[in-house]
Every structure is written in C-alpha cells, then in structure tokens.
Structure 1
C-alpha cells in the first residue's frame, strides 16, 4: 500500500509543480508541455487504484503512464533541438498576417498558452536542461521506480 501511495504522490506532484512553475517562476508552457502533464494524472489514478486493489498491475500501469510522459518529453526535446517539427498546430509561433481588426485579434487569442514548442523553458537559468528534459528524466525515473515496486509486490 505504501508503494502505491508513494507513486500516486510523485505522479500527482509532477503536473502540480509544472502548473506552479507558471506562476512562481513565470514560465509559459507550450502545447507539448501541456500534453506532458496528462499521463501523470493517469499514473496517479492507477497508483491510487493500487492503494485499494490490484496493487501489482496498478503500479505497472502507473509506470507505463509515466513512461508515456517521458516519451512525450523526449519528443519535445527533439522539437526544441530542431531535429523535427511538432505536428501540433498550437506549437507554431503566432504570426500576424498583416493588419488585424480588434475583433480578429480577440478571436485569435487562444485559451491556452501560445508559446512556440521549439523555445525551451529553463527553470534554472544557466543550466542547459529545459523543462522538457527535466520531464524526460522525472518520467523515466518514476516509471522505473513504479515497475521496481510492482515487482516487489506479492502476487494475488
């Protein structure tokens, strides 16, 4: 039970910290940044399920969800390094196609941040590790931890 609760806390902590970094550190997320958060919510839900029932499979599924976030982070790093473009339309830099009326500008405002995905967000100035890189490391570590803890759980 303690292992599932630990994974749930660590999984829920990742998107909450990312959301907090927007206000605490003034970091604007891009669309890929937002996509990286969803698998952590899934991982946390699976881990919470593991607190009550099916601990071993729930921890494995939580680890898989964390690995998905790490994979999105790896893809995001490729976009940041210019190895490939992002297929998401929200990742492109906003451009103005000439003079726009006030109504057109208001319609063009997106409810989510419009920071281009190829501009890295650095939490620690001077450290050449973007938030996407940190997510890759964190997601992979959480996945490995969840899988190792699942292996230690007794079969039911």
Structure 2
C-alpha cells in the first residue's frame, strides 16, 4: 500500500524545487533573465517549499495536513500568476507592470522618463517557447496540475 499523504508531501516539496530550480538554471546558465512577473511566480514556489518542509517535519501532528494544503495553494497561486503572465505574453490582455503596459500618455519628458525607468526585460515578450508555450505557460500547466494532484491525493485519504 502507498501512503497518499506521504506522496502528496513529496510532490509538494519536489515540484516547486524542480520548477524554481529550472527557473534559476535558465536564468544563470541559460541567459534568460526574468521580468517582474517572472519573479512574482517564484515567491509562491518558495513559500510552498517552506510549507512542504514543515508538513514533512510535522507529519505526525494535526497541523501537517493544513500545511500541506497551504503548500498546494501556494503552488496553485504560482500557476495562476503564470497563466496571467502567459496571457500578457500572448497578447490576450495587458499586463499590470511597467514592463508590459503602454506608457504613451503625458508630455515628451514624462514619456521619456517612463521609458528610461522601465525595466529592461519586457513582461509581454516571451524569451523562450516550446511548441508555442512560453515558460510562464509551462509554469501554469505544471503548477496547476501539481496543485490539483496534491489536493486530490489529500482528498482520497491516507492509504490506498
């Protein structure tokens, strides 16, 4: 028999470690520099790692299951941010940050000041794609799927 909660805890730890690790590898060894929304996707993964570690350390206590659920929610939040970011990259909607919004309002000096203050890495342009899916899109797919898997494993009970 397999311990479903043990599997859920392992997934809750390993998935964000792998996704965050992939982001850092692509940044430091792949030359893909993150935009502001890329950083937004990393924070929930970091929180999920901490929550999953606590759920593992406290697995025999009553607080372990809520910590595991919070880890799944953090992973889901990262995925949803990734989905929003992918939509900005695909041009489905405008982003919320200066790295993707239009700055064409105001006089010339104001517009120039905004351009000079804007981040170098644009949030509305995917730096890398595979089969038409950007890194933000992949984060949406993997993080959302992982969060749903963790929650499903938790809902099915402790033992198979």
Deviation of 1:58 after TM superposition, in Å, equals 1.7
Matched ranges for 1:123-138 at <5 A: 124=130, 127-138=131-142
Q: Secondary structure at the match of 2:93?
A: coil
Query: 1:69 — aligned with what?
Result: 78
Q: Unpaired segments of 5 or more residues in structure 2?
A: none
Q: Secondary structure at the match of 1:27?
A: coil
In the alignment of these two chains, the number of paired residues is 141
Query: 2:124 — aligned with what?
Result: 118
For residue 31 of structure 2, the aligned residue among 22, 26, 35 is 26
Q: Secondary structure at the match of 1:89?
A: coil
For residue 13 of structure 1, the aligned residue among 15, 18, 21 is 18
Aligned 8 A contact 1:32 1:91 in 2: no
Counterpart CA distance in 1 for 2:15 and 2:90 is: 28
Counterpart CA distance in 1 for 2:150 and 2:49 is: 11
Query: 1:39 — aligned with what?
Result: 44
Deviation of 1:92 after TM superposition, in Å, equals 5.2
Aligned 8 A contact 2:11 2:150 in 1: no
Matched ranges for 1:50-89 at <5 A: 50-53=55-58, 54-89=63-98
Counterpart CA distance in 2 for 1:52 and 1:152 is: 22
Q: Say if 1:114 and 1:91 are closer, same or farther in 2 by CA, change over 3 A.
A: farther
Aligned 8 A contact 1:93 1:114 in 2: no
Q: CA RMSD in A?
A: 2.7
Aligned 8 A contact 2:11 2:146 in 1: no
Which contiguous aligned blocks of 4+ residues in structure 1 show a shift greater than 4 angstroms? none
